């Protein structure tokens, strides 16, 4: 199928520099202009033709382990691929992110980041061998975020091979530390080192119609319960760290949280004790709390921390002592935020999905992704899907099926071109942010 759409009804695009966010009509016209452009059409066709190679790349990336804080080998592979695609200056920054600048014609701005994350949730030693059965591919991390990385490479390949020149700069990034304890360290460093970023896109997720424009905030804690410990028989009467923690968990499990804004909690891991016949001297648990609203997150946090302290008081009271204590450590802090629906980045994404799928509407929601940091800094950001379908994320049985997978990089390409502008054809919809 070609990409020529009817643009008869569209008023010819007049292209002055946008003083304000472009109107919805202008955004519509920009999308149709791009889809009707021969060079862009060729790039879209090339992306589709690249589908099988891109899937092989996705599998290859998956089989390079990238545990939290140990993304280096995968980063080096990604760097090598970027260099092969023509980015002679691609490099790995001080935090471990792979960055490559694709210069536009306007001298640097607006600057759009296009990224996917290198790390997985899986620790060292997990078997990352890709297995296939009946067209379904199974491997830890095959979707999250190997798909994003493969989609990113496919899109950049099509742009470079077709000499597509943008007006604004596009900074292509493979980030580290997106998952769990990585605490978004990659993007935190990126925004610290680059103060001229005007927009941020993360390809993280499958399909293309679900778009993240809200960042789910999260607070994560490790709670370490400590007591004297002793023999279960001889020293019976001492408080137990495990019992205290059990009391805390029982209380936490009864908490009520709103479904809108979605607010959640779980005690994710527990450990402790030394043997079956010892009163536990130490027990620890990790707690995850999330919300699309900072206010609700803080409310939940206050309640939950109160319950933990109360559990310790009760364990001490039970044995008439004060020897049980709890140490509460914040181990994860991701801000909540929202990008308004009328923001050009949301508008562009919406139109790209509509244009590529020929009529499907994007749905918008919240999640915790690399976009959190941009959103918390007030920088327009979205997290978009890389195409295909899958499930069992963050589990060893993660699966992926490449259904219409090419639509991921295709939709991302249109989004990028709407935001960054196609030289000589369309203006960037992304505004240059003013220095504060």
R_g (Cα) of the chain, nearest Å: 25
From residue 346 to residue 365, the character string flagging contacts with Zn ion as x (rule: CB under 5 A) and all else as - is --------------------
Q: How far is the CB of 255 from Zn ion (least distance, A)?
A: 27
Phi, psi of 329 (to 5 degrees): -115, 125
| Binding region for Zn ion (CB under 5 A) out of 72-80, 201-209, 265-273, 278-286 | 201-209
Q: Please give the DSSP secondary-structure letter assigned to residue 80.
A: H
Phi, psi of 307, rounded to the nearest 5 degrees: -65, -40
Q: Which two tokens stand for residue 362?
A: 């994007």
Residue count at the site for Zn ion (CB under 5 A)?
3
Q: Is 169 in the site for Zn ion (CB under 5 A)?
A: no
Q: What is the largest CA-CA distance in the chain?
A: 90
d(CA 225, CA 249): 12
- Which CB atom, from 57 or from 204, has the smaller least distance to Zn ion? 204
Q: Which of 46, 50, 119, 204 binds Zn ion (CB under 5 A)?
A: 204
Residues 222-281 binding Zn ion (CB under 5 A) are none
State CA 282 to chain mean position distance.
Answer: 35
71 in contact with Zn ion (CB under 5 A): no
Between 111 and 117, CB nearer to Zn ion = 117
Distance CA 173, CA 186 (A): 10
Q: How far is the CB of 141 from Zn ion (least distance, A)?
A: 9
Minimal distance in Å, beta carbon 435 to Zn ion?
A: 31
Between 145 and 315, CB nearer to Zn ion: 145
Q: Which candidate, 374, 400, 396, places its Cα nearest to that of 387?
A: 400
Of 145 and 198, nearer to Zn ion (C-beta) is 145
Identify the sign of the CA torsion 89, 92, 98, 99.
negative
* Site membership for Zn ion, residue 145 (CB under 5 A): yes
Quote the Cα angle for 120-125-126, to 5°: 55
* CA distance linking residue 115 with residue 178, whole number of Å: 11
Question: Does the footprint of Zn ion cover residue 144 (CB under 5 A)?
Answer: yes
Q: For Zn ion, give the closer residue by CB, 37 or 54.
A: 54
β-strand 217-226 against 399-401: which pairing, if any? unpaired
For residue 202, give the 3-state DSSP assignment: strand
- Of 51 and 119, the one with the shorter C-beta distance to Zn ion is 119
d(CA 417, CA 429): 9
Q: Pick between residue 57 and residue 145 the one whose CB is nearest to Zn ion.
A: 145
Tell me how far, at minimum, the Cβ of 386 lies from Zn ion, in Å: 10
> Which tokens go with 217?
């905030």
Looking only at the bridges linking them, the beta strands covering 363-367 and 210-215 are: parallel
- Closest contact distance (angstroms) between CB of 44 and Zn ion is 25
User: Judged by CB under 5 A, which stretch of 56-64, 196-204, 214-222, 289-297 contacts Zn ion?
Assistant: 196-204
Residues of span 326-345 touching Zn ion by CB under 5 A = none
Residue 119 contacts Zn ion per CB under 5 A: no
Q: Which stretch binds Zn ion (CB under 5 A): 87-95, 168-176, 200-208, 382-390?
A: 200-208
Nearest to 174 by CA among 194, 157, 150, 198: 150
Q: Which stretch binds Zn ion (CB under 5 A): 44-52, 145-153, 333-341, 416-424?
A: 145-153
Q: Which residues bind Zn ion (CB under 5 A)?
A: 144-145, 204
């Amino acid at each position: 199928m070609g990409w020529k759409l009817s643009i008869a009804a569209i008023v010819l695009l007049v292209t002055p520099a946008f003083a304000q966010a472009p109107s919805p009509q202008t955004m519509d016209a920009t999308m149709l202009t791009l889809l009707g452009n021969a060079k862009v059409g060729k790039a879209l066709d090339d992306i589709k033709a690249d589908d099988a190679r891109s899937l092989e790349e996705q599998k290859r990336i998956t089989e390079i382990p990238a545990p939290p804080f140990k993304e280096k080998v995968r980063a080096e592979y990604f760097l090598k691929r970027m260099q092969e695609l023509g980015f002679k200056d691609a490099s790995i920054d001080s935090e471990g992110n792979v960055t490559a600048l694709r210069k536009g014609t306007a001298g640097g701005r607006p600057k759009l980041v296009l990224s996917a994350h290198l790390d997985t949730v899986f620790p060292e030693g997990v078997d990352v061998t890709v297995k296939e059965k009946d067209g379904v591919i199974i491997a830890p991390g095959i979707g999250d975020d190997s798909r994003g990385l493969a989609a990113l490479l496919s899109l950049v390949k099509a742009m470079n091979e077709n000499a597509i020149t943008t007006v604004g700069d596009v900074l292509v990034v493979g980030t580290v530390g997106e998952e769990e304890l990585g605490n978004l360290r990659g993007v935190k460093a990126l925004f610290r080192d680059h103060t001229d970023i005007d927009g941020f896109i993360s390809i993280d997720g499958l399909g293309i119609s679900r778009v993240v424009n809200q960042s789910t905030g999260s607070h994560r804690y490790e709670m370490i319960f400590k007591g004297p410990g002793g023999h279960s028989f001889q020293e019976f009467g001492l408080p137990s760290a495990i019992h205290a923690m059990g009391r805390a968990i029982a209380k936490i499990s009864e908490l009520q949280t709103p479904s809108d804004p979605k607010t959640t909690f779980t005690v994710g891991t527990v450990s402790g004790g030394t043997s079956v016949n010892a009163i536990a001297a130490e027990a620890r648990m990790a707690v995850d709390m999330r919300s699309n609203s900072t206010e609700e997150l803080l409310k939940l946090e206050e309640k939950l921390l109160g319950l933990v302290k109360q559990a310790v008081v009760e364990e001490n009271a039970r044995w008439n002592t004060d020897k049980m204590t709890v140490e509460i450590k914040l181990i994860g802090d991701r801000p909540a935020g929202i990008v308004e629906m009328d923001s050009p980045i949301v508008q562009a994404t919406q139109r790209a999905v509509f244009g590529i799928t020929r009529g499907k509407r994007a749905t918008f929601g919240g999640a915790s992704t690399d976009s959190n940091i941009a959103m918390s800094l007030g920088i327009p950001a979205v997290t978009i899907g890389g195409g295909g379908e899958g499930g069992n994320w963050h589990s060893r049985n993660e699966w992926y099926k490449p259904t219409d997978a090419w639509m991921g990089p295709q939709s991302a390409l249109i989004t990028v071109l709407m935001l960054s502008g196609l030289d000589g054809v369309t203006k960037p919809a992304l505004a240059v942010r003013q220095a504060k």
